[in-house]
Chains A and B, each alone.
Chain A
């Protein structure tokens, strides 16, 4: 048959990708679950006994756990807030007629392409350093006491650093959606008597709803796992002020070498991520069905 034989070869062509991803999904996760039930620490040799849910109990009742959840929440919400509001504002701005729009766009997009470790260190050393940093210099200029950002407002500092990196993403997505808005719709609204603000609220914003939804979904997925910026600036500190769930599990795994505990933590992270994803898809994903 002319078209039939392609069906069997199609399945063959898909198999490497599907098989690899299947293995990638299942094997490590199963192992993590397995380890989470063991008493296993790389520093203490000997047999690894099955200890049931003990690791989970320790992990979940550790006060650091709740702190890390709280920090994770603050980080995600903080960055989302800054990037979405900033993104809308920037997109609206860039969409206006101006000279050199192309260059403006390039300048605004750039931070997204800077690797997280570089951006974190640049902010840490050049801006937030209370002695040599630019913010300190600005503070002195206005006769104010310079803030030791990473010591006094560590979480806010991280939020700023991460938001700086993700703002271009939100801006680009929203700008793309903005530019797909039919000019004629706005003109029809104008003929119907809508002023600029009304046009924004009733025409532009609903059109952007889908793009904003996508930005929230995608960013949340990535923001739950903020890691490099924390590692390079505060190492989760001072104390546990900037420890999010990802960093907490990392520290248990690679700093304390507690395989069992970190595995339990990892599973908790996976479960929570799934809950967040389901929640988001339900509440916010409605916009995508349109």
Chain B
């Protein structure tokens, strides 16, 4: 009897779920819609939902008339740069921990993760002063360094879990088949580890792109990524919501797309493996 009502049940849940999902997604949807309105329409009361004069003028204005391009480029450089450097440092480390574990390996891993739990304000002052005195303030280089350091534990952790999943006897088979360490890495390990490395890359780009403490405090007009650029509009300057929406949409679009592909990685990376 409980099983037979399933078609009606399915429909009910579909309706409820879609309503709630759309409500949750609404702010994003609204932003995207507003980005295609004129400024007048953007603040119109009652608000226009779908029937308004659609225009792309906001996008062209933001793109060509402001320093948006510079900040977009900064976001790109900082996220991808710190991710690649992070991977270069982390891959050997995760490797060593996954394939030559010792009694201390777990402790070292836990310690690495614990460095991520240190409150940023605890070191805000010295970092700011060091950056000021070494000319790293408001530079992409400085920010890449910081991003690498704060995300390194997560990169190491994620790579470690992916490497651990490579079955040990496949590596032993390679050894029996005559592969030296180098060949084992080249022909067996790397191809099997590529999906894991790609996933880690994806998640880290997302984390670096969205970081909003150091990017806000260590940058000004030169190296500020999109987080800082958008933040600079916090003081309202008259009618500009449509343009702000366009800038916001462009700022979040790449990450939204990447995010949709990386849900599993998110669970793995940010729960430190405690949930499977």
Contact = CB atoms under 8 A, between A and B. Distances in A.
Interface size classification for chain B: 35 or more
Contacts of B179: none
Given A31-B126, A176-B276, A110 B28 contact: yes
A253 B120 CA distance: 12
B121 A17 contact: no
If over half of A's interface residues share one DSSP class (helix, strand or loop), that class is named, otherwise mixed; here it is helix
A47 interface: no
B89 A132 contact: no
Contacts, number: 285
A265 B257 CA distance: 39
A171 B244 CA distance: 29
B267 A172 contact: yes
Contacts of A249: 121, 124
Q: Which of B6, B120, B271 has the most CB of A within 10 A?
A: B271
B22 to A, nearest CB: 7
B230 A117 contact: yes
Interface in A261-290: 262-263, 265-267, 269-270, 273, 277, 288
A111 interface: yes
If over half of B's interface residues share one DSSP class (helix, strand or loop), that class is named, otherwise mixed; here it is helix
Contacts of B118: 25, 29, 270, 273
B119 A20 contact: no
B174 to A, nearest CB: 13
Interface residues of A, number: 99
Contact of B123 (A32, A96, A106, A233): A32
B230 A218 contact: no
B67 to A, nearest CB: 16
Contacts of B4: none
B20 interface: yes
Contacts of A149: none
Nearest to A287: B274
B18 interface: yes
A134 B149 CA distance: 40
A191 interface: no
Nearest to A90: B20
A121 B209 CA distance: 17
A17 B93 contact: yes
Interface in B152-190: 152-153, 156, 181
Interface string A5-31: 011011111101110110011011101
A107 B22 CA distance: 7
Q: Which of B116, B122, B210, B252 has the most CB of A within 10 A?
A: B122
Interface of A: 6-7, 9-14, 16-18, 20-21, 24-25, 27-29, 31-32, 35, 90, 93-94, 96-101, 103-127, 132, 134, 136-137, 164, 167-169, 172-173, 176-177, 180, 210-211, 213-215, 218, 221, 224-225, 227-228, 231-233, 245-246, 249-250, 253-254, 259, 262-263, 265-267, 269-270, 273, 277, 288
28 contacts: A14-B92, A17-B89, A17-B92, A28-B126, A28-B127, A29-B123, A31-B123, A31-B130, A93-B13, A93-B16, A97-B6, A100-B18, A108-B25, A113-B252, A116-B212, A117-B227, A117-B234, A121-B230, A127-B27, A132-B241, A169-B270, A177-B275, A210-B275, A214-B271, A215-B271, A250-B121, A266-B123, A270-B118
